Structure 1
Amino acid sequence: MTRRQESPPVRLHRRLGHADLSAVGEARAALREFLRHRRRPEEAEVAELLLSELVTNALIHTRNGAVVTATTAAARLRVEVRDFMSGQESAPYVPNADDGTHGRGLLLVQSLADSWGVVTQALGKVVWFELNAGRS
């Protein structure tokens, strides 16, 4: 019996300019293309939605752009959005569902991702989420 060998991780890496909200659509399109033959369409749609929320937050609340990295390996997709704004809170605010119309992006991430978090860097932070293939 031969053991099936897992394929190595595949990565998408994009740098986005500051205050350029058209970059949100460009990041979504790049992720869509990256995931086209790697993930089910439903999973890719969720990933696009969550990515757009994180990128929008990074571009609106920082002045130095962002970097998007998506890594897919086996049954897991990890998407990271790094900003370069110093002096930020380490954990972004996640509002309640009835907090009005702004600030719901992280509520979506919290609700739809299998896991998510924030990692503080020397300059800025990385907000990430993971989706597991085959989830119900």
Structure 2
Amino acid sequence: MRAGETMERQGDADSMEGEASHQPGAKERQPVRLHRRLAHTDLAAVGEVRSALREFLRHRWQAEPAEVAELLLSELVTNALIHTRHGAVVTASVAPAGLRVEVRDFVSGLPVSYVPNADDGTHGRGLLLVRSLADAWGVNTHALGKVVWFELDGERP
């Protein structure tokens, strides 16, 4: 694990997919939450957090929705790092019926919806992609900053 990255382990034995946690030789509990802090100057972290999400979802999620999750995560992280300049915190949680990814920044104010024109190149499409591809998404404001989140429905593999 890299500095700033933690994986929390689920505490209840019911999620161990058929094996009791008290048996000798039982599988190690699988992480159910990925948590990563990113510095505001670390644009290389976008690829690293995508890779961390890919690894986190490898045995927990179907391939196609995992690829969508990677794309949407990279859009939200890029927005947070470029537009807020105060770093971000990424959290991804897997539940039996869905995946939730949150990107928290530390600047007040809601993200501005933007409809890019042809002259914008590849800029300005992040929230448009999130709105188009996520099953649900939104923004929760906090005293210091906000959390932009998305959810993808689906079953585990």
Aligned mates of 1:97, 1:6 — CA distance in 2: 47
Aligned mates of 1:97, 1:111 — CA distance in 2: 14
Q: TM-score, normalised by structure 2?
A: 0.75
2:128 counterpart (93, 107, 126): 107
- Which secondary structure state, in structure 2, belongs to the residue aligned with residue 59 of structure 1? helix
Superposed counterparts of 1:1-136, under 5 Å: 7=15, 10-85=32-107, 88-90=108-110, 92-96=111-115, 98=117, 100-101=120-121, 102-133=123-154
RMSD: 1.9
Unaligned runs of 5+ in 1: none
Aligned mates of 1:127, 1:7 — CA distance in 2: 28
Q: Which moved more, 1:46-55 or 1:11-20?
A: 11-20
Task: State the percentage of identical aligned residues.
Answer: 71
The change in CA–CA distance for 1:64 and 1:96 in structure 2 (over 3 A counts) is closer
Aligned mates of 2:125, 2:14 — CA distance in 1: 36
Which stretches of structure 1, 4 residues or more, deviate above 6 A after TM superposition?
A: none
1:20 shift after superposition? 1.1
Contact 1:6–1:74 (CA under 8 A) maintained in structure 2? no
- Which secondary structure state, in structure 2, belongs to the residue aligned with residue 39 of structure 1? coil
- Which secondary structure state, in structure 1, belongs to the residue aligned with residue 15 of structure 2? coil
1:103 shift after superposition? 1.1
Question: Which of these two proteins has the greater Rg computed from alpha carbons?
Answer: 2
Q: What is the total number of aligned residue pairs between the two structures?
A: 127
User: Which structure exhibits the higher relative contact order, with contacts defined as CA atoms closer than 8 Å and separated by 6 or more residues?
Assistant: 1
Contact 2:103–2:148 (CA under 8 A) maintained in structure 1? yes
1:126 shift after superposition? 0.3
